[in-house]
Structure 1
Amino acid sequence: MHAYRSHSCADLNISNKGDTVRLSGWVHRVRDHGGVLFIDLRDHYGITQLLCDPDSPVFSEVEKVRSEWCIRIDGEVKARDESLINAKIPTGEIEVFIRDLEVLGSAGELPLMVFGDQEYPEETRLRYRYLDLRREKMQENMKLRSDVVASIRKRMWDQDFREFQTPIITASSPEGARDFLVPSRLHPGKFYALPQAPQQFKQLLMVSGFDKYFQIAPCFRDEDPRADRSPTDFYQLDMEMSFVTQQDVFDTIQPVLIGIFEEFGGGKKVDQTWEQISYKDAALWYGSDKPDLRNPIKMQVVSEHFAHSGFAIFAKLLEQEGTEIRAIPAPTGGSRKFCDRMNAFAQKEGLPGMGYIFWREKTADAVAQELGITVKEAQAKLKSGEVEGGMEAAGPLAKNIGPERTEAIRQQLGLDVGDAAFFLGGKPKAFEGVAGRARNVIGDELGLTDKDRFAFAWVVDFPIYEKDEETGKIDFEHNPFSMPQGGMEALEGDPLKVLGYQYDLACNGYELVSGAIRNHKPEIMFKAFEIAGYGEDEVRKRFGGMVNAFQYGAPPHGGCAAGIDRIVMLLAEEQNIREVILFPMNQRAEDLMMNAPSDPTSDQLMELGLRVIPQE
């Protein structure tokens, strides 16, 4: 028999009754039923119930066993009593009577329990991650991650892509985030960088004649952490193709992701047709460039209804250049209680509040005022049907702008009795983010968001440049390596109107994919950087390898990268990306388990020619 096991803890069933077996694993829990000991033994594959009573030659040793001890047992497979069968696990019909026991690794007092669903502080979970990872949910998440990566690889190979590995130690390259720098021992005073992405290398592969490349690539960025972003490193499905248009890239990645979400999405509906929404429209309709299309709410511009109106705040605001008023429709949200709750939400977000109108059945008070009769008479007329009730607009805004304007707003937004609308105004960039978050909250609270669906949309036509409001300087707003739509001719006009062949894929409110058709012509690249204030010498210095390569017959090419961690987070229905990463950093970019970052030794600093200057 094997030194440690003849079977895994998920293998045994009633057909093994009477067999002598050997199992190894961790003690999941111990139960003492009046001198009869039951142990749930757990390994990576499942759980088997063990049984031991005073008839066992190792009963006294089994009595000493505690949770999370690693043990090896020999025993005899027995059928459980019919009333004790556990149909929830594959081994639920049997138990193993312990004849022999070896403790492979005892465990001290546990800082967190593996058995059960107790919640522990994140600091404890990360410091003792090896225990945290033993928990069933974490085991399932990491198996899911592994299976997703394996499936992605197969799907890419099936589309004739080849996987290549690009360097991990390279040159610093400004790509939108801070680099992690690595000092060079052989070249004192100089530094390598960990790649933020294989961007330049995959483009160079296209110049090298490799038509289709992909890689499950580690990427390193010194970023501020968020719930959906690691502060140090992450993995992405990185791909690039030659002789392709933007649509070719979409047509390539779409079946891969649809297949992944269908395979691992737990039966949720997966959108088969993906909308293409311009960046401008995404900001207008959804207040975000990663819209959650499970929520059907679309925001609209309603400035004309407030211009020169009785609502002075919006009327005066609209006199300023570049301002507008946007409405967030809220079907079924037509109650003062809900409107007040959303107004409080806006105040928590740092705004003075959020204007609202809601539509309700016309009250007797309103009819009395309209007809110049008493409320009692109005009630009688409504009850008899002599007067039709109809609807009325309520709320402070409705009173200020009057019935004609409120009716025009209602008709534009397609709302009815029992619905509401919320309003924000100013320069769009100042309030779009809050409007987008308000839209999400409204969709969730009113039950409008379809939680049983993966909704995808391509966001396209990103502007390449933006203007600093204070300095007036033009700089890149998005990826500087994107080919401008219209090529060199587009760069001769207004920079703020130049759009790039750049695209993101949004799913359920998260950005899953980002990519572009690349700018592969040196003369267009130099002009694009010149507009942002970077001369040719600077471009050659920063991106010399790529610029030089493009002078030797570079093909048109493009690609994208899909975030593996974020994909798995969605499939696992987790809210925090750390739940699907084996050994993540905490919010302060610290590895509590390995004590990183750590202080270097004096010898290490001396060898690298470095000195640490104490912070004030």
Structure 2
Amino acid sequence: MRSHNCGLLRSADIDETVTLCGWVDRRRDHGGVIFLDLRDRDGIVQVVFDPDTEEHFATADRVRSEYVLKVTGRVRARSEATVNPSMPTGEIEVLGKEIEVLNTAATPPFQLDEHTSVGEEVRLRYRYMDLRRPEMQQRLRLRSEVTDAVRRFLHGEGFLDIETPILTRATPEGARDYLVPSRTHPGQFFALPQSPQLFKQLLMVSGFDRYYQIAKCFRDEDLRADRQPEFTQIDIETSFMDEAGIMEITERMVRGLFKAVLDVDLPDFPHMTWAEAMERFGSDKPDLRIPLELVSVDDLMQQVDFKVFRGPADDPLGRVAALKVPGGASISRKEIDDYTRYVGNYGARGLAWIKVNDLAAGVEGLQSPILKFMPEDVVASMMERLGVANGDIVFFGADRAGIVNEALGALRIKVGSDQGLVGDGWAPLWVVDFPMFEDDGDGGWTPLHHPFTAPACDLATLREHPGEALSRAYDMVLNGTELGGGSVRIHNLETQEAVFDILGIDPEEAREKFGFLLDALKYGAPPHGGLAFGLDRIVMLMSGAASIRDVIAFPKTQTAACVMTEAPGTVGAAQLRELHIRLREQEKKTGDS
């Protein structure tokens, strides 16, 4: 139907007769001459109709925004005064000779340009319209370029693209499964995969050596800006390669990806241990563009009688940490109150602070409601350790270490953004040496990654000191976002059984849930490991979008619903009977208690 795409016409096409198809972006009538901005996925070109072509001029006069047109005309140069340097097609226009309305359109529910301010729910309800916007078109094109570059790299490195099942069995991987009832097996359920983890390990046992898949994954979990119930992973697994080798090849892939798609040369990827990341930044995915760090002051707070600080300082599981913000003394009391409420979202019970007005004046030059609880020598030692200067503010967190890290880590990001302290560019790193396990709060252990991650210690040490054991896991982080995580896997049956035992998974439960894996480990499983990248997160960062919903064609809302198709929805009684499911009627609530 068309000879050219609208957005690809250039000066080299002048005097060519072209046929274009697209949507009317704008229509303007200037003194008897009609200008139509015609848009397709490659961009916009200006088409001009004058009264000389009477029939087609009349048709052009009737069209409105978002009509679908087929236009034939001659490419000509714009006059010097009308050249539009902000458009790739701004040096030319098309003198229309024929026009055909392929379809009319109702008035769009919102303006389809980069300045649209309509709410997200409206955009998602009319997603097919939202996706016409140039910004959304560019993001999904970028996503396609990313997947293409990933595939080319991995094929070049000898990886095979192998699909794994979508209907599988429920396995505990840290989030709730989406369950699918089986019609042919009454009372039994499939689960949608949280990841292809076990299948890709079985592919290594099968001898395929290097596997990858751009895989759909599903997790029924609480959502945030970087979470969706269904998401896409760049899933990678390889045999006979240790963590250094896996990190080298995937780092090379990400470097090549940024160079090919954005023409960006990423800087060096420093390696940082999990313990250091938590100590300095309160996060295992620190944004290194922000020059703020947490500093422990537990030893100093053991010298004060103030229980808010002294209690956590004396507790082996507690922490007292300080966050210095250079120039932050200008932060108002209202802003401090807002920050106090903000850290409360992370479990903090308050936010202490000290403003440094005149360091030379000692305690008299400091401003804070907590100074009366602290000896002057302790305050002086703390100011020296923190390296404060006039005009700074120091925030404090005191509680269990996990709460302090999460609260001050989040405050570091927020204050850094609010105070304009976030540097430009890209700051990648590898976080390594994760603990194998974390306390589940009930005297047991839960895996920090997943139960198939290999320990960095020998089996005897793992059994004797599980809380001190490190894993062979690694995460790639970029600008405070975890791009992907992986590990060397357990390939030895005895080690896998020991990990299940530490996690409180008895042999009967292990056999029921993972019998196929345990059997496979008996038959010559090779050393193997891998890494899974979040494709949606990568594209979000590369495009500058605020949410992964803006780089997914048809995303769900934060309540895991699709407002466009109104999914999830109810199904009929007949279909439920086929699935052997009976719904429990919700009891009607009354005013009586």
> Structure 2 residue aligned with 1:404, among 372, 377, 386?
377
> Structure 1 residue aligned with 2:202, among 193, 201, 204?
204
Distance 1:116 1:281, change over 3 A: closer
**Cα distance per residue 1:247-277 (max 9 Å; x no partner):** 121111111112223333465x622232222
CA contact (8 A) 2:319 2:404 kept: no
Provide the residue aligned with 1:93 in structure 2. 91
Provide the residue aligned with 1:376 in structure 2. none
Structure 1 runs not aligned, ≥5 long: 371-391
The 3-state SS of whatever aligns with 1:270 is coil
**Cα distance per residue 1:403-444 (max 9 Å; x no partner):** 432332233223333333221112112232111111112322
Amino acid at match of 2:266: V
Report matched runs for 1:124-523 at 5 Å. 124-230=122-228, 232-265=229-262, 267=264, 270-278=266-274, 280-309=275-304, 311=306, 313-320=308-315, 322-333=317-328, 335=329, 337=331, 341-350=335-344, 351-361=348-358, 366=361, 392-398=365-371, 400-450=373-423, 452-469=424-441, 471-523=442-494
Distance 1:34 1:506, change over 3 A: same
Amino acid at match of 1:410: M
Query: Larger radius of gyration, structure 1 or 2?
Result: 1
Determine whether 1:29 maps to 2:26: yes
Deviation of 1:170 (Å): 1.6
> Structure 2 residue aligned with 1:113, among 89, 111, 114?
111
CA contact (8 A) 2:6 2:43 kept: yes
Deviation of 1:336 (Å): 5.4
**Cα distance per residue 1:438-473 (max 9 Å; x no partner):** 1112322333321x222122222222333344x323
Provide the residue aligned with 1:594 in structure 2. 565
**Cα distance per residue 1:454-499 (max 9 Å; x no partner):** 2122222222333344x32334343111112223112331322222
Structure 2 runs not aligned, ≥5 long: 588-593
Distance 1:301 1:36, change over 3 A: same
> Structure 1 residue aligned with 2:16, among 14, 19, 22?
19
Distance 1:15 1:515, change over 3 A: closer
Deviation of 1:599 (Å): 2.0
CA contact (8 A) 2:271 2:432 kept: no
Provide the residue aligned with 2:591 in structure 1. none
Comparing 533-542 and 318-327, the one that deviates more: 318-327
CA contact (8 A) 1:51 1:95 kept: yes
Distance (Å, rounded) in 2 between the aligned partners of 1:19 and 1:41: 17
Distance 1:399 1:446, change over 3 A: farther
Determine whether 1:65 maps to 2:59: no
Distance 1:489 1:396, change over 3 A: same
The 3-state SS of whatever aligns with 1:408 is helix
Distance (Å, rounded) in 1 between the aligned partners of 2:377 and 2:341: 29
Provide the residue aligned with 1:52 in structure 2. 49
Amino acid at match of 2:480: G
CA contact (8 A) 1:28 1:115 kept: no
Distance (Å, rounded) in 2 between the aligned partners of 1:137 and 1:53: 32
The 3-state SS of whatever aligns with 1:103 is strand
Amino acid at match of 1:33: H
Distance (Å, rounded) in 1 between the aligned partners of 2:174 and 2:467: 19
**Cα distance per residue 1:184-219 (max 9 Å; x no partner):** 222222222211111011101111111111111111
The 3-state SS of whatever aligns with 2:62 is coil
The 3-state SS of whatever aligns with 1:560 is strand
Distance (Å, rounded) in 2 between the aligned partners of 1:96 and 1:148: 33
The 3-state SS of whatever aligns with 1:262 is helix
Distance 1:362 1:217, change over 3 A: closer
Distance (Å, rounded) in 2 between the aligned partners of 1:238 and 1:270: 22
Comparing 4-13 and 533-542, the one that deviates more: 4-13
The RMSD of aligned alpha carbons is 2.3
Provide the residue aligned with 1:43 in structure 2. 40
Amino acid at match of 2:393: A
Deviation of 1:565 (Å): 0.2
Provide the residue aligned with 2:504 in structure 1. 533
Distance 1:543 1:492, change over 3 A: same
Distance (Å, rounded) in 2 between the aligned partners of 1:348 and 1:274: 31
Comparing 481-490 and 32-41, the one that deviates more: 481-490
Distance 1:248 1:101, change over 3 A: same
Runs of 4+ in 1 over 6 A off after TM superposition: none
Distance (Å, rounded) in 2 between the aligned partners of 1:258 and 1:13: 33
CA contact (8 A) 1:339 1:356 kept: no
Aligned-pair identity (%): 40
Distance (Å, rounded) in 1 between the aligned partners of 2:263 and 2:10: 27
Amino acid at match of 1:337: I
Distance (Å, rounded) in 2 between the aligned partners of 1:530 and 1:169: 28
Distance 1:47 1:152, change over 3 A: same
CA contact (8 A) 2:486 2:529 kept: yes
**Cα distance per residue 1:77-133 (max 9 Å; x no partner):** 333221001122232222222222111111012212224521112221111111100
